[in-house]
Amino acid sequence: MQSLPKKYNFAEIERKWQQKWEEMGIYHFDWNDTRRPAFSIDTPPPYPSGEFHMGNVLNWTYFDIVARYKRMRGYNVLFPQGWDCHGLSIEVQVEKEHNIRKRDVPPDQFRKWCEQLVEKYIAMMKEGILKLGCSVDWTTEYRTMNPDYWRRTQLSFILLHKKGYMYQGTHPVNWCPRCETAIADAEVDYESREGTLHYIRFLLEGSSEYLLIATSRPEFIPACVAVEVHPEDARFNKYIGKKIVVPVVNRVVTIIPDEAVDPSFGTGVVMICTYGDKEDVKTVIKHRLPVIRLLTENGRINENGGKYAGLTINQARKAIVEDLAADGLLEKTEKLPQEVGVCDRCKSHVEILEVKQWFMKTRVLTEQVEKTANEVLWYPDHMKTRLIDWARSLDWDWVISRQRVFATPIPVWYCKSCGELILAEEKWVPIDPKLENPRIDKCPKCGSREFIPERDVFDTWMDSSITCAVHAGWPDREDWKRFFPADVHPSGIDIIRTWAYYLMVRHLALFNEKPYKSCLINGMVLGSDGRKMSKSLKNYVASPEVLNKYGSDATRQWAAGGGATGSDIPFRWPDVEYGRRFLVKLWNVSRFANKLLKDYTPSETAELALQPLDKWVLSKAEKLTQKVTEAMEKCQFNIAAEEIRNFTWHVLCDCYVEAVKDRLYRPEIHGEAERAAAQHTLYEVLYRVLQLLSPITPHLTEEIYQPMYSPYKGFKSLQISSWPEFNEALVDEEAENRGDLIMALIIDRRRDKAEKRLPLNAPIKKLTVYAGNQTNADVIATGKCDIAGTLNVERFVVLPKEGSGREIPQFPGVISVAEYGGVIKK
Ligand SMILES: [Zn+2]
Ligand SMILES: [Zn+2]
């Protein structure tokens, strides 16, 4: 047998195997294979943020474990990797970097800068994925910013438009005044901020009597269209139908009843403005109130704000409050803690604006989403309620248009003279309507030859919510449905409401089919202090720091073993250090085995003189296989990792190897056949450990596999060896019970030596065991070879009767007495 190198340099071997696996092509998905079942992973293409952070490490480790496990189970695994390039976040960074706003430079220039930044970021993140040793098929790599990907996004839009899912509407939308674009509900974050509640007097028309209204947004007073009270509020219902004067702008509005008013909040009288918040939107629709647009797209007061026109929202608030005070209409103010919706990219206060936008009808799908979510397997199961609750909570359809530059263009034009909408034909895409006219002679409705391009672009989720179909080869491969739905969609807990949801609605609408069969959820990575990991909290650890210091195999053990799938996982250096120590232990036991197997040639047919401890460890390895396989099937990586590490460390290294060392070293005492049995057992059990571990720690296990196993097991890589099938026939409870007793005696006697501060190989002149009964005596007698050898016993006596001496804790009634003496052998 080839020998293992002396030194284990993790950085070197990890780099070496990453390169060799690539050369071997073992990650290549074989599109034409009809023999093996396919298993497809819907790798979520990440936003290139420039950093492959610990959250990514957790995420990618999860699905890389799945990919490696499935390959060993004989699947043809599709593990693609794309990049979700578009989006506000890149634009915001380009604007900052070049100190401009998107409109200050030609769109081409702006796009180019965005692309450059994205490429730089992709390179950095790719390095992280490679360093982690992810088994990605890089021939599948794609970028959503490339026109070839636009083609797919645009095609999906055209198909959905034809099916009636896409529409344009003037509808209130969430609007970020800084980014100057509509944003979806899912892009609104909530922050706790301290606001001020202003108590303002609204005079009844033609009277000095007033109603007091408390509002945190007095700047919206110019857009007040009604005042509301609860119909059963005895204090105020006498005013219903009366007219009231909106201060500052002196417009008269009507007092209307609405059950939705909470009489106990503020003063119980509410002003309705267009739009202060989402409640206002509902009220306006319900009571068919007029809309006064107050804000411009960049968050200033427009001409409807009268003398406040041109001011920013904050300036307007200040001016209006001053004017109210001067008019004697501001009664008092008080502090108000509030939850404020902010843009998830730039953290600006989100406003509600009524703008013409493109929408996808998503609410009509809610029932189907719920039904389908229940058909999908979720790891862990309770995560499905997050998707269902989110779908049910949506008030509005999905606004899919954005007023940005760096995104996929919406393939639509309008006739200049009659306004007719011209939808691109399927074969025209990819197309940028801003650069090209529709490929028709004239408007089909009025005959005009002039067209206006749609300037809006798609929300970036329009790109990334068709990946399940795209990864399967849609629309280019005729057989794409062979690889669809995806077998697993991995997702962070924080993006279920976006990624898992948008995938669901897009694929249901497009193909009337669920996008994924299962959903694998990872939690968030917390800092070592248990709070969310964040640069500002100073509990942040960058992944290169971890990977460079301890390597991938140790880091992956942290990710796999850090906690239950779906739960938040704290980053703790000791977890990674433990992973490293485990690797060293595995390396040492493999080196030991390698030395003692030098003269060993594995043979399937050899007659084996298996001893009780051999049978004991073989049976335990079989049970381990069952537990690990079950855990892998349920994506319980922490259970798999713990089981294998405990077995390796405690059962294999601490017990078995220690107990058979003497048998391996001294065949002249124990017999050649007995030695061969130990060699066989050690060889096979170590192989089992390497196989079960390899999805979690692929590098070191491969390093050990190649010289020791590859020539005999015949797989060019451990990564594509067949996952061991649990064989119940190999579980031998009786052998385990017998082995437990023998092992307990050895351990107890070694402990006794340690307590007496004797070396572990100190000779025992005579060891007498009072087994208490004949059964135990027989068992101990069968283990005599390993017991006497390991404990260095000169005379070994087993008696089936009771006696007094040292009792084995786990086996009451089994007593041993050792007589030390003579010269201690070193
Ligand atoms: Zn923003
Ligand atoms: Zn026309």
Kindly identify the ligand whose nearest atom is closest to the C-alpha of 89: 1
pLDDT at 78 over 80: yes
Type of residue numbered 582: F
Q: 444 C-alpha to center of ligand 2: Å?
A: 7
Angle at 747 between CA 653 and CA 775, to 5 degrees: 115
pLDDT at 762 over 50: yes
Q: Average pLDDT over the chain, rounded to whole?
A: 94
Distance of alpha carbon 770 from alpha carbon 797, whole angstroms: 9
Q: 502 C-alpha to center of ligand 1: Å?
A: 21
Q: 300 C-alpha to center of ligand 1: Å?
A: 15
Q: 86 C-alpha to center of ligand 2: Å?
A: 33
Kindly identify the ligand whose nearest atom is closest to the C-alpha of 345: 1
Kindly identify the ligand whose nearest atom is closest to the C-alpha of 444: 2
**In a 10 Å sphere around its CB, with 0-12 CB exposed, 13-18 middle and 19+ buried, how is residue 7 labelled?**
exposed
Q: 220 C-alpha to center of ligand 1: Å?
A: 21
Distance of alpha carbon 353 from alpha carbon 296, whole angstroms: 8
Q: Is the dihedral of CA 97, 102, 106, 110 positive or negative?
A: positive
What pLDDT, on the 0 to 100 scale, is given for residue 268?
94
Q: 407 C-alpha to center of ligand 2: Å?
A: 28
Kindly identify the ligand whose nearest atom is closest to the C-alpha of 346: 1
Distance of alpha carbon 424 from alpha carbon 442, whole angstroms: 14
Say which residue, 475 or 186, is predicted with more confidence. 475
Type of residue numbered 740: D
What pLDDT, on the 0 to 100 scale, is given for residue 825?
44
Residues 502 and 360 sit within 8 Å (Cβ to Cβ) = no
Supply the DSSP symbol for 389.
H
* Mean pLDDT value across residues 27-46: 96
Q: 422 C-alpha to center of ligand 2: Å?
A: 9
Q: 490 C-alpha to center of ligand 1: Å?
A: 27
Distances (CA, A) of 626 to 380, 686, 720, 724: 20, 16, 19, 9
Angle between helical axes of 774-782 and 784-791 (0-180°, round to 10): 70
What pLDDT, on the 0 to 100 scale, is given for residue 822?
59
What does the pLDDT look like over 622-649, one tens digit per residue? Answer: 999 999 999 999 999 999 999 999 999 9
Q: Residue 607: pLDDT band by 50, 70, 90 thresholds?
A: confident
Q: 783 C-alpha to center of ligand 1: Å?
A: 73
* Mean pLDDT value across residues 301-329: 94
The answer for residues whose C-beta is within 8 angstroms of residue 812's C-beta and 6 or more apart is none
Residues 716 and 71 sit within 8 Å (Cβ to Cβ) = no
Supply the DSSP symbol for 716.
S
Q: 447 C-alpha to center of ligand 2: Å?
A: 6
Residues 253 and 351 sit within 8 Å (Cβ to Cβ) = no
The answer for residues whose C-beta is within 8 angstroms of residue 87's C-beta and 6 or more apart is 47, 345, 406, 407, 460
Distance of alpha carbon 300 from alpha carbon 295, whole angstroms: 5
pLDDT at 281 over 90: no
* Mean pLDDT value across residues 302-325: 94
Measured between alpha carbons, how far apart are the two ends of the chain, in Å? 30
Distance of alpha carbon 80 from alpha carbon 490, whole angstroms: 13
Q: 435 C-alpha to center of ligand 2: Å?
A: 20
What does the pLDDT look like over 415-429, one tens digit per residue? Answer: 999 999 999 999 999
What does the pLDDT look like over 693-719, one tens digit per residue? Answer: 999 999 999 999 999 999 999 999 999
- The four Cα atoms 465, 470, 471, 474 give a dihedral, to 10 degrees, of 150
Flag the least confident range among 316-330, 355-369, 812-826.
812-826
Q: 291 C-alpha to center of ligand 2: Å?
A: 30
Q: 355 C-alpha to center of ligand 1: Å?
A: 17
Kindly identify the ligand whose nearest atom is closest to the C-alpha of 450: 2
Kindly identify the ligand whose nearest atom is closest to the C-alpha of 88: 1
Angle at 96 between CA 91 and CA 98, to 5 degrees: 95
Distance of alpha carbon 166 from alpha carbon 169, whole angstroms: 10
What does the pLDDT look like over 123-154, one tens digit per residue? Answer: 999 999 999 999 999 999 999 999 999 999 99
Residues 257 and 231 sit within 8 Å (Cβ to Cβ) = yes
Q: How many CB atoms lie within 10 A of CB 374?
A: 11
Distance of alpha carbon 380 from alpha carbon 672, whole angstroms: 51
Which residues face 587 on adjacent strands? none
Distance of alpha carbon 527 from alpha carbon 569, whole angstroms: 9
Kindly identify the ligand whose nearest atom is closest to the C-alpha of 102: 1
Kindly identify the ligand whose nearest atom is closest to the C-alpha of 421: 2
Q: 296 C-alpha to center of ligand 1: Å?
A: 15
Q: 360 C-alpha to center of ligand 1: Å?
A: 22
User: 3-state class of 563 per DSSP?
Assistant: coil
Half-sphere exposure (Cβ direction) of 484: Cα atoms closer than 13 Å = 24
Q: 278 C-alpha to center of ligand 1: Å?
A: 18
Q: 411 C-alpha to center of ligand 2: Å?
A: 17
Type of residue numbered 149: Y
Q: 298 C-alpha to center of ligand 1: Å?
A: 11
- Does the pTM of the predicted model rise above 0.85? yes
Kindly identify the ligand whose nearest atom is closest to the C-alpha of 420: 2
Backbone phi and psi for residue 638, each to the nearest 5 degrees, phi listed first: -65, -35
Q: 97 C-alpha to center of ligand 1: Å?
A: 16
Residues 289 and 224 sit within 8 Å (Cβ to Cβ) = no
Distance of alpha carbon 144 from alpha carbon 175, whole angstroms: 24
Supply the DSSP symbol for 811.
S
Q: How many CB atoms lie within 10 A of CB 689?
A: 26
Task: Please confirm whether the linkage preceding 380 is cis (ω < 30° from 0).
Answer: yes
What pLDDT, on the 0 to 100 scale, is given for residue 530?
85
What pLDDT, on the 0 to 100 scale, is given for residue 323?
95
Q: 450 C-alpha to center of ligand 2: Å?
A: 8
The answer for residues whose C-beta is within 8 angstroms of residue 308's C-beta and 6 or more apart is 219, 222, 301, 316, 319, 320
Q: 456 C-alpha to center of ligand 2: Å?
A: 20
Kindly identify the ligand whose nearest atom is closest to the C-alpha of 299: 1
What pLDDT, on the 0 to 100 scale, is given for residue 528?
82
Residues 678 and 664 sit within 8 Å (Cβ to Cβ) = yes
What does the pLDDT look like over 215-226, one tens digit per residue? Answer: 999 999 999 999
* Mean pLDDT value across residues 64-91: 96
Q: 454 C-alpha to center of ligand 2: Å?
A: 15
Kindly identify the ligand whose nearest atom is closest to the C-alpha of 448: 2
Q: 449 C-alpha to center of ligand 2: Å?
A: 8
Q: 349 C-alpha to center of ligand 1: Å?
A: 8
Q: 413 C-alpha to center of ligand 2: Å?
A: 11
Kindly identify the ligand whose nearest atom is closest to the C-alpha of 180: 1
Kindly identify the ligand whose nearest atom is closest to the C-alpha of 422: 2
Residues 553 and 586 sit within 8 Å (Cβ to Cβ) = no
Q: 309 C-alpha to center of ligand 1: Å?
A: 22
Q: 401 C-alpha to center of ligand 1: Å?
A: 15
pLDDT at 604 over 80: no
Q: 195 C-alpha to center of ligand 1: Å?
A: 20
What are the tokens at 5?
Answer: 């190198």
Q: 340 C-alpha to center of ligand 1: Å?
A: 14
Kindly identify the ligand whose nearest atom is closest to the C-alpha of 351: 1
Distance of alpha carbon 181 from alpha carbon 346, whole angstroms: 12
Kindly identify the ligand whose nearest atom is closest to the C-alpha of 419: 2
Kindly identify the ligand whose nearest atom is closest to the C-alpha of 87: 1
Q: 361 C-alpha to center of ligand 2: Å?
A: 26
User: 3-state class of 766 per DSSP?
Assistant: strand
pLDDT at 823 over 70: no
Element (H, E) at 352: strand 351-360
Q: 130 C-alpha to center of ligand 1: Å?
A: 32
Q: Residue 243: pLDDT band by 50, 70, 90 thresholds?
A: very high
Q: 423 C-alpha to center of ligand 2: Å?
A: 13
* Mean pLDDT value across residues 352-357: 89
Residue holding tokens 């672009």?
457
Which residues face 341 on adjacent strands? 190
Kindly identify the ligand whose nearest atom is closest to the C-alpha of 446: 2
Q: Residue 69: pLDDT band by 50, 70, 90 thresholds?
A: very high
Angle at 643 between CA 638 and CA 647, to 5 degrees: 150
Q: How many CB atoms lie within 10 A of CB 12?
A: 12
What pLDDT, on the 0 to 100 scale, is given for residue 5?
87
748-777 burial, b if ≥16 CB within 10 A, otherwise e?
bbbebbeeeebeeebbbeebbbbbbeeebb
Q: 668 C-alpha to center of ligand 2: Å?
A: 100
Q: 457 C-alpha to center of ligand 2: Å?
A: 23
Task: Please confirm whether the linkage preceding 475 is cis (ω < 30° from 0).
Answer: yes
The answer for residues whose C-beta is within 8 angstroms of residue 64's C-beta and 6 or more apart is 79, 132, 133, 134, 135, 556, 695
Kindly identify the ligand whose nearest atom is closest to the C-alpha of 440: 2
pLDDT at 824 over 60: no
What pLDDT, on the 0 to 100 scale, is given for residue 276?
87
pLDDT at 6 over 80: yes
Angle at 694 between CA 693 and CA 695, to 5 degrees: 100
pLDDT at 91 over 70: yes
Distance of alpha carbon 509 from alpha carbon 403, whole angstroms: 25
* Mean pLDDT value across residues 361-382: 96
pLDDT at 346 over 90: no
Q: Residue 826: pLDDT band by 50, 70, 90 thresholds?
A: very low
Distance of alpha carbon 805 from alpha carbon 568, whole angstroms: 51
Q: 421 C-alpha to center of ligand 2: Å?
A: 8
Q: 170 C-alpha to center of ligand 2: Å?
A: 21
Kindly identify the ligand whose nearest atom is closest to the C-alpha of 416: 2
Q: 438 C-alpha to center of ligand 2: Å?
A: 13
Q: 442 C-alpha to center of ligand 2: Å?
A: 8
